[in-house]
Amino acid sequence: MNHFIQVTEARQIIEKNIFRTKKTELPLLETLGFYTAEAVYATIDVPSFDNSAMDGYGFIYVNPKNKGWKIIGEVSAGHSAHALKVGEGEAVRIFTGAPIPGGVDTVIMQEKVEVSGGFVSFDYSAVNKGDNIRHRGSQTEKGELILPENTFISHSVIGFLAGFGIEKITVFEPVKIGLLYTGNELVEVGQPLTDGKIYNSNAYTLQAALAEINQRFSLVKHVEDTAESTFTAIEDALGQVDVLLITGGISVGDYDYVKPSLEKLGVEELFYKIKQKPGKPLFFGKLKQKYVFALPGNPASVFSCYHQYVKPFVLGCFGREDFYKDEDWAVMETTEKKKNKQLTLFLKARYSHGKVRVLNGQESYKMNSAAQANCLMEFPDGIEEIKAGEKVKIWKI
């Protein structure tokens, strides 16, 4: 049984269980924020024809003794140049993006020429043969690999693919995820807050966090703190989703019914409890091809466990290859100490220009520091003190 394991071991177990969602073909503009499920190859040469990189004059680079070149025509972007044939001593007015007429092997920019009486002249030493021509296929040749599988599709990727006239691509489908949040003390936002109650923030945190990575909950439900309600809710949810998140009820209190319900349903325990703070009583399990993350109920624990474990797992299923992509390094601005060196701490922090500053308010019930944080600073096990100026691992959020 993997009980009370180290952070590194928990990561390894989660990464090992990543699965890929189904493939689907979508129109190009609908793929923003997805990952490619298949390699993409160039459908055409880009550029698809030789064209000018400058506004200027095209000519044949052969006779440096010429004092002037006769202008025989003009070609602009979007127009054919097939009717033009340039000979020695001749030039053609040409604009950026316009096709190169036959015979032309060099373009000189307009700022370097003088035009008079239908002739163009310039200092021959100011230009080299082949200048300012973008040759067909100089960016990409037809059939060339342009995007490997598992590439994140950003706005720049969409623009890049549009340049090939690609209308649809194959991507991984979003993960089918459900959320059950436990706690009789929870009140929904917009409702009056009565004695002994608190507002439900975890569901909002997780829904917003998933939206940031192009995911949505297909199921969200509040579960009463009873054995029957908990068991029924988990059983129903596992029949509808591939990944189930549960907040609260996973510890060993009198009203914690999540773990007994998971055991009764036959969910395989992959690990339970991690030597970390916050978020020690984290459960990760599997039922056939369904996965369960049971997170502690404290908001800061949910926040930390999501970024450390849930997010990389979900993105891995969605097509991201690097489980540790959010990892980085920074220099500590202050000295930090901890009481229990056996635990790994994830401290909410601010990172800027290579330096990181740990924020106040690290207790598991406090979210003011989370609202200010842009990273989690990892204070690894086995170490009691990190001094200012030392290099530390951070996780971008």
pLDDT in tens, 33-45: 999 999 999 999 9
Q: What is the pLDDT of residues 331-387, one digit of tens each?
A: 999 999 999 999 999 999 999 999 999 999 998 788 899 999 999 999 999 999 999
Burial of residue 159, with CB atoms counted within 10 A of its CB: 0-12 exposed, 13-18 middle, 19 or more buried: exposed
Question: In b/e form, how buried is each residue of 96-106, taking b as 16+ CB within 10 angstroms?
Answer: bebbbbeebbb
- HSE toward the beta carbon, residue 81, CA cutoff 13 A: 26
- Give the pLDDT of residue 60: 95
Whole-number pLDDT of residue 124:
86
State the pLDDT at residue 363: 85
List own/partner pairs for 386-390 with CB under 8 A and 24 or more apart.
386/332, 386/335, 386/336, 386/337, 387/332, 387/335, 388/332, 388/333, 388/334, 388/335, 389/331, 389/332, 390/331, 390/332
- Residue 153 has a pLDDT of 98
Q: What is the pLDDT of residue 181?
A: 96
Q: pLDDT (tens digit, 0 to 9) for every residue of the chain, 397 residues total?
A: 689 999 999 999 999 999 999 999 999 999 999 999 999 999 999 999 999 999 999 999 987 777 789 999 999 999 999 889 999 999 999 999 999 999 999 999 999 999 999 999 999 888 999 999 999 999 999 999 999 999 999 999 999 999 999 999 999 999 999 999 998 898 899 999 899 899 999 999 999 999 999 999 999 999 999 999 999 999 999 999 999 999 999 987 777 899 999 999 999 999 999 999 999 999 999 999 999 999 999 999 999 999 999 999 999 999 999 999 999 999 999 999 999 999 999 999 999 999 999 999 998 788 899 999 999 999 999 999 999 999 999 999 9
pLDDT of 11 reads 98
Residue ranges and CATH numbers for the domains of the chain are 3-21+174-318 (3.40.980.10), 24-44+140-172 (3.90.105.10), 51-134 (2.170.190.11), 327-396 (2.40.340.10)
Q: CA 69 to CA 60: how far, in whole Å?
A: 10
Q: What is the pLDDT of residue 256?
A: 86
pTM > 0.85: yes
